[in-house]
Structure 1
Amino acid sequence: MELWIPITVFAAFCQNLRSALQRHLKDSFGTTAATFVRFGYGFPFALLYVGILHVFAGMPLPRINSAFLVSGALGGLAQIGATFLLIHLFSYRNFAVGTAYSKTEPIQAALFGFVLLGETLSLPVMMCIVLGIAGVVMISLARTQLSAQAITSSLIGKSALIGLASAALFGASAAFYRSASLSLGGPGFLMQAGFSLACVKLFQSALMASWMFFRTPHQLSLTLRHWRISTLVGLAGILGSLGWFTAMTLQPAAYVRALAQIELVFTFAVSWLVFREAISRNELLGCSLIMLAVIGIILSS
């Protein structure tokens, strides 16, 4: 099995945990603060990881270049916007519809990868990506009562547009991050990914902290007051991000983000095995489609 596959599965698990914690924080902190803790409280862990690789593994620090700075900054801005929009979706009643559209990210990541890096995907992989997205949409709409109004809302409603915008920004950030990491040209995929992540988190943390200091200082103080839960979000987020950065240094972003759809399977497994919650036929079928897509991507790669 290629190394990027277990790394991606691990990252998807960590992202599932981070999303659950962020959704809990959103009600107490607000959208901006819940977005910030992912970056601000994750940066120290990213810095620690780079320090361990440099001091104990003897890996030299990469040399920064202009392509790295531009790609890293654009990726960081895109990820902030995408995270903000995704958390904002929690405020909508038809959150499931918006979330379904936000999962079109693999296709958009493939488009950005083609435009920015000239990467192309084989027809079987593209078919698997579409199959996986169909499974996600089926799960997201499984508990939605279908009607003319619901279908219209799912196509042109505000939450659908927010979901699409979030997916586009996540897809762009994935392609920019891969571009940034590859632009370093060495000294190895672990240090390239870790160094890129630390630099991006520093940029995101400084940008958001400055914005919040002047615009929403009360939300910034909330994250400091509740530093324990904020630290947990930061740790879960940085472990997931390390997985994404490392996997996307090894493999095109579209492959990684498509395989990451397995996150929903984790969610339903916990729901069924731990909380004994019932799963509908459509949700089970959606999970099956995602698993078929994941198997197809692994075999095709």
Structure 2
Amino acid sequence: METWILITIAAAFLQNIRSVLQKHLKGVMGTTGATFVRFGFGLPFAVVFVALLVFVLDNPLPRLNAEFFGWVVLAALAQITAQALLIQMFSHRNFTVGTAYSRTEPAQAALFGLIFLGDRIGPGTLVAIGISLVGVVLISVARSATGAAALLRSVFSRTAALGLASGTVFGIAAVGYRAASLSLGGPNFMMQAAVTLLAAITLQTCVMLVWMWMRAPGELARIRAAWKIATMVGLVGATASFGWFMAMTLQTAAVVKALAQIEMIFTFASSVLIFREHVNRLEISGCILIVAGIVVLLLV
């Protein structure tokens, strides 16, 4: 099995753990604080990753360049913007369709990868992305209390637009991170990914700190009070991001994000095993389609 596949599956699993921990944090702090934790508390671990690669594994630091910084700034700010769009979407009614649209990230990453980097993917990969996307949509709308007619109307709603915009910006972020890592040109995919992660997470931490200081200063005290679990979120989140960046250095962003839909399976399992939530047929069908799409992706 190729290295990028193993790394992506591991990153998806870790990201699901991070989401479970952040769900707990939402009970003690606001959305802004819970979002900041993934960046601010992940920063020390990003430093550790680079230090280990340099001082323990004896990897040279890559030479930074203007192209690298340009892509990092674009990708880091795009990721924050996409997260903000998701948060805004959650304040609307019937946000299930919006959530489904936000999961169009792999398809949009394929388009942006072609435009910005000249990445090309075959028809078999496109089919795999499509199958998994249908599965994600089914899971996203499975718990909606509305009927088919209401869901159809909501496709043209503000919520759907926010979800689509979120997926678009997440796709831009994924391609931007891949471009940043590739622009370093070496010495290897691990070092390139670690340096890209450190640069991105440093910028995101600074931006989020300024935002909280201006808009939600009370969050800082709540974050300090929850520092133990916040540290766990930072560790798991930074490790997952390191995995994403390594995978996207080795493989196109669209293909990595398509395989990353396996996170929905992990989320589904967490909902059932940890939160004891009810399962319905649409969710089961969606999981089957996601698995089918991943199988097709790995076979083409």
Q: Same fold (TM over 0.5)?
A: yes
**Distance (whole Å) between structure 2 residues aligned to residue 127 and residue 33 of structure 1:** 39
Matched AA of 1:151: L
Q: Unaligned stretches of 5+ in structure 2? A: none
- 1:50 maps to 2:61: no
| Deviation readout 1:231-254 (Å, 9 max, x if unpaired) | 122112111101100000000000
Partner of 1:156: 156
Distance verdict in 2 for CA 1:215–1:281, change over 3 Å: closer
Partner of 2:224: 224
Whether the aligned pair in 1 keeps the contact of 2:135 and 2:287 (CA below 8 Å) is: yes
SS of aligned partner of 1:261: helix
- 1:115-264 equivalences in 2 (<5 Å): 115-144=115-144, 145-153=146-154, 155-264=155-264
- Tell me the CA shift for residue 56 of structure 1: 0.5
- Tell me the CA shift for residue 147 of structure 1: 4.0
Instruction: State how many pairs are aligned.
Output: 299
Whether the aligned pair in 2 keeps the contact of 1:259 and 1:294 (CA below 8 Å) is: yes
Matched AA of 2:24: H
Whether the aligned pair in 1 keeps the contact of 2:97 and 2:151 (CA below 8 Å) is: no
- 1:107 maps to 2:71: no
RMSD: 1.7
**Distance (whole Å) between structure 2 residues aligned to residue 156 and residue 23 of structure 1:** 29
Whether the aligned pair in 1 keeps the contact of 2:14 and 2:236 (CA below 8 Å) is: yes
**Distance (whole Å) between structure 2 residues aligned to residue 65 and residue 52 of structure 1:** 22
Partner of 1:33: 33
SS of aligned partner of 1:166: helix
| Deviation readout 1:239-298 (Å, 9 max, x if unpaired) | 110110000000000000000101111122344456665432222111111001001111
- Tell me the CA shift for residue 88 of structure 1: 3.8
Percent of paired sites with the same residue: 51
Which range moves more in the overlay, 222-231 or 38-47? 222-231
**Distance (whole Å) between structure 1 residues aligned to residue 293 and residue 88 of structure 2:** 29
Which range moves more in the overlay, 184-193 or 281-290? 281-290
- 1:54-69 equivalences in 2 (<5 Å): 54-69=54-69
SS of aligned partner of 2:59: coil
Distance verdict in 2 for CA 1:119–1:126, change over 3 Å: same
**Distance (whole Å) between structure 1 residues aligned to residue 257 and residue 141 of structure 2:** 21
Distance verdict in 2 for CA 1:23–1:82, change over 3 Å: farther
Whether the aligned pair in 1 keeps the contact of 2:50 and 2:195 (CA below 8 Å) is: yes
Q: Unaligned stretches of 5+ in structure 1? A: none
**Distance (whole Å) between structure 1 residues aligned to residue 248 and residue 51 of structure 2:** 21
Which range moves more in the overlay, 85-94 or 247-256? 85-94
SS of aligned partner of 1:119: coil
Whether the aligned pair in 2 keeps the contact of 1:106 and 1:255 (CA below 8 Å) is: yes
**Distance (whole Å) between structure 2 residues aligned to residue 147 and residue 198 of structure 1:** 45
Distance verdict in 2 for CA 1:19–1:84, change over 3 Å: farther
Matched AA of 1:164: L
| Deviation readout 1:167-209 (Å, 9 max, x if unpaired) | 1111000000000000000010000001110111111111211
TM-score, length-scaled by structure 1: 0.94
Whether the aligned pair in 2 keeps the contact of 1:189 and 1:246 (CA below 8 Å) is: yes
TM-score, length-scaled by structure 2: 0.94
Matched AA of 1:14: L
Matched AA of 1:152: R
Whether the aligned pair in 2 keeps the contact of 1:13 and 1:263 (CA below 8 Å) is: yes
| Deviation readout 1:111-155 (Å, 9 max, x if unpaired) | 1111110111101101110110001111111232324233211x0
- 1:7-18 equivalences in 2 (<5 Å): 7-18=7-18
Partner of 1:81: 81
